[in-house]
Structure 1
Amino acid sequence: MVRSEEFQIPVSLVPLANLPNLRVLYGDQNKMVMDTFIHASVPKFQLKLISLSKCITSQELSLEFLTFLHHQYDLRYVDLSENNFTGTVLIWLLENNTKLKYLILRGNSFSGRLLLPSAPNFNVSTMDISNNKLQGQIPSNICSTFSHLTGLFLSKNSIEGNIPPCLSVMKEISILDLSNNQLPGKVPEGLIMNSSLSILRLSNNNLSGSVVPAILYANGLERLYLDGNHFSGEMTNIDVSTFEFPTSLVEIDLSNNKLFGKLPGWIENASTLGILALSSNHFEGSIPMEFCNLNSLTYLDLSQNNLSGSIPSCFNPPSIEHVHMHGNRLSGPLSLAFYNSSTLVTLDLRGNNLSGSIPKWIDTLSSLSVLLIKANYLQGEIPVQLCKLYSLNIIDLSQNIFSGPIPSCLGNLTLAMQDNKVLPYVQNVVFSEEDESTIF
């Protein structure tokens, strides 16, 4: 085995050509360079594992320059990810190495169509060609060519055409990621219900159709990402009395679609659901009381809809961390919904019609880091209890009708400038001009 760090690796591996017992080569995060001369001899080694990840060069290289690979016939694991390799996907490598199980080519510049070897390869388990420049359709015979696939990653390409129906019946596939492509049409019937799938990511395509009742049949699926598509229809127009919600689901992301109608009350049966994202749709009406039964929730995003009414006071999941409800028409006072939520980190209620005052029990939110209540109709004094939120990093109280003095203790909060991915454009304490004129 050879492991190198911070070396210049010649693409032909000439310095290693005379090592007949070499089986494993780790060369991650080094610099791959062109040879000063062409070495035409056949290397004496037969590798089983090669990993040359993140060996970025100053120029784009074709894999054809890695001439030693043409003489390898016993490879089981190949990782050439995060480089500047160009050309078409190296089908010859799959044809030469029938025992290959893991092929990882993500983060390169491979282009053209995804071509498959002429003969089936029953050993390939994981294929990752994400973040390249692939075009065309996914070959319809991909399932028969790689019948034992457990992970297929083709995200962040320019793939188009329908999703092959055969993926719905693959018996061993566990992770399928086709996100960030140009896939049109409907999701094949049965794909979401494939009992072998645990993670299905189809985000940011041009997919359409309905998402129920398929979700209700998703036995075995743990994480479902359908965000950034054109799924439409109502989620409540179905008789759920004959369904048993899959207990395996822990994450559902249906944000940025065209779903409408009321939020589904049957979601209360999702006893294991930890993440629910339904933002940027057209949901309307009130938040169902059934949401109070989602005791496993850690993340809820209902933002950018047309929801109205008050936030149910019973909504207080014991482990909730992030709540996003901005951009709706929610009204009424800040209820006891979040009272004593010691795990809550983010509370975003911007752009609603909330009224009343900031409750004095706000200091029970001991882990709160982000408090955003901009653009509501909140009034009264700013409570000194805010000063007890020692984890507070971002607070935005602007565009309300607060009155009275700003508690001087707010000046003692550190409000550390942390790297925050939630809302990097809002920092520290924010008041609008209207608030300042009212307060002063």
Structure 2
Amino acid sequence: MTNLKVMSLGRNKFEGLLPPCLNNLTSLGVLDLQYNGFEGTFPSELFHSPNSLTFITLNENSFTDIASLSLFANHINLQVFIISCSNNPNLKLETEYPQFLPSFQLNIFSVSKCTRNGASNHRIPSFLLHQFDLRVLQLAHLNLSGSFPKWVLTNNTKLVSLSVSYNFLTGPFELNSPSKLFDMRYFDASSNHVNDEIPPHIGFVLPNLLSLNMSSSSLQGGFPASLADMTQLNWLDLSHNNLSGYLPHEFGKGTNDLRFLKLSNNNLSDPCLPEGSNFTHLFYVDLSNNNFKGKVPDGISKSLELRMLELSANQLYGEMPSWIGNFKHLGHLILYQNSMTGPIPESFCNLAELKYLDLSQNRFNGTLPSCLNMSPLRYLHLRSNDFTGPIPSVLTESPLLLT
């Protein structure tokens, strides 16, 4: 089949060696071998001579030896290259030796969980300096070091998704793009050693971002008010950093599409959410392990699809709000280690899907409502409070209870 243009074998259970006759497919444009069990040495022979290949994806096979990206230097039509080595512990990816100038302009380059070979083991692949048409760039779990690659954003103004997570990249974290990157939707620099502040103008440069993840990156400084300019933001994870100060007033007004909010394990201070916040679409909120003060914020009261609320290890006080019972799909409510007082409101009985309830280390008092729906409950932690009266008999209706 020497005129074959598309070979898509992905997501099957093929195994064994690739037959050498594949080298005859010089008209091939698309080669998709991902998620199989092909083994043997990396099929370099497939790529020795320039051909019409535009799309190559080799994820999750069991190839061995060395895969050198210089094989593709003269493949002028190449647009997509994807490989993940989580199932390839004996495959080494060589990006620098021999060095090459690419004749292609990639749209998608995705490499993850691969061992890099040679002396430049920790460098970001240098050929990417010559790429100006990238839409997706993923360099995850590669032990990359050096400064955050600001040139990627400067050179590729149509970039949609950038992921450099689980590396050792450091600051300075700069966004020097001369214009707004309107196409950028996903930005993930989590689990690095940036050790710098978030640029105050990040919302101006990336106004249409849907997801921002910079958790566990040693970030410092304050929470930029320009994040409110990301009016389409769905997912924000800045947890496990050293951010300090208040959440700006603009944030509560400008990000009403937010669904996932995780700011845990920082040094942020009161209040939990800016006064006047009006979030309506939240389903996951984790603000634990900060220095927030005040009452449980009203800014989340209209997010009726909320599944997870964790405000533990802060300095919250006051009673549990009655509107907590409006979250009929709430599965996790974790408020431990605060200074909250008062009885559990009767509206609590509306929480029919609660699986994890931790109110320990507060000052709650009164009796536990007898109408509580305990049937889905798996974890119930109430220690170090001032509850009185009998243990509710409805606990006997908790067949899934573990602790």
Output one character per residue of 1:181-240: Cα deviation in whole Å (capped at 9) or x when no partner. 11111111242452121111111110111236859732222222111101112449x9x9
Alignment partner of 1:330 is 2:384: no
Q: Provide the residue aligned with 2:292 in structure 1.
A: 231
Match 1:56 to one of 105, 115, 120: 115
TM-score w.r.t. structure 2 length? 0.76
Whole-angstrom distance in 2 between the partners of 1:179 and 1:168: 18
Output one character per residue of 1:24-78: Cα deviation in whole Å (capped at 9) or x when no partner. 2122114445578443x422222211111111348883435x2221222221111
Q: Is the 8 A contact 2:301 2:324 kept in 1?
A: no
295-304 or 199-208, which deviates more? 295-304
Alignment partner of 1:13 is 2:58: no
Q: Provide the residue aligned with 1:160 in structure 2.
A: 220
Quickly say closer, same or farther: Cα 1:200–1:37, change in 2 above 3 A. closer
TM-score w.r.t. structure 1 length? 0.70
Amino acid at match of 2:246: K
Alignment partner of 1:209 is 2:265: no
Whole-angstrom distance in 1 between the partners of 2:93 and 2:304: 51
- Which contiguous aligned blocks of 4+ residues in structure 1 show a shift greater than 6 angstroms? none
1:273, distance to aligned residue in structure 2 (A):
2.9
Amino acid at match of 1:71: H
Match 2:173 to one of 114, 122, 131: 114
Q: CA RMSD in A?
A: 2.8
Residues matched between the structures, number:
339
Match 2:137 to one of 46, 53, 78: 78
Q: Is the 8 A contact 2:251 2:274 kept in 1?
A: no
Q: Provide the residue aligned with 1:96 in structure 2.
A: 155
Q: Provide the residue aligned with 1:46 in structure 2.
A: 105
Alignment partner of 1:195 is 2:256: yes
Alignment partner of 1:290 is 2:358: no
1:85, distance to aligned residue in structure 2 (A):
0.3
Alignment partner of 1:266 is 2:320: no
Quickly say closer, same or farther: Cα 1:255–1:108, change in 2 above 3 A. same
Whole-angstrom distance in 2 between the partners of 1:152 and 1:171: 12
1:318, distance to aligned residue in structure 2 (A):
5.2
Whole-angstrom distance in 1 between the partners of 2:239 and 2:385: 28
Give the 5 Å matches for 1:399-414: none
SS in structure 2 at match of 1:78:
strand
1:316, distance to aligned residue in structure 2 (A):
1.4
Give the 5 Å matches for 1:276-425: 276-317=333-374, 319-341=376-398, 365=399, 367-368=400-401, 370-371=402-403
1:329, distance to aligned residue in structure 2 (A):
4.1
Q: Provide the residue aligned with 2:4 in structure 1.
A: none
Structure 1 residue ranges without an equivalent (≥5): 342-364, 372-440
Q: Is the 8 A contact 1:311 1:337 kept in 2?
A: no
178-187 or 263-272, which deviates more? 263-272
Q: Is the 8 A contact 2:171 2:194 kept in 1?
A: yes
Structure 2 residue ranges without an equivalent (≥5): 1-54
Quickly say closer, same or farther: Cα 1:153–1:83, change in 2 above 3 A. same
Which of these two proteins has the greater Rg computed from alpha carbons?
1
Amino acid at match of 1:152: L
Alignment partner of 1:275 is 2:364: no
251-260 or 66-75, which deviates more? 66-75
SS in structure 2 at match of 1:217:
coil
Whole-angstrom distance in 1 between the partners of 2:113 and 2:152: 20
Quickly say closer, same or farther: Cα 1:229–1:272, change in 2 above 3 A. same
Amino acid at match of 1:119: P
Amino acid at match of 1:138: I
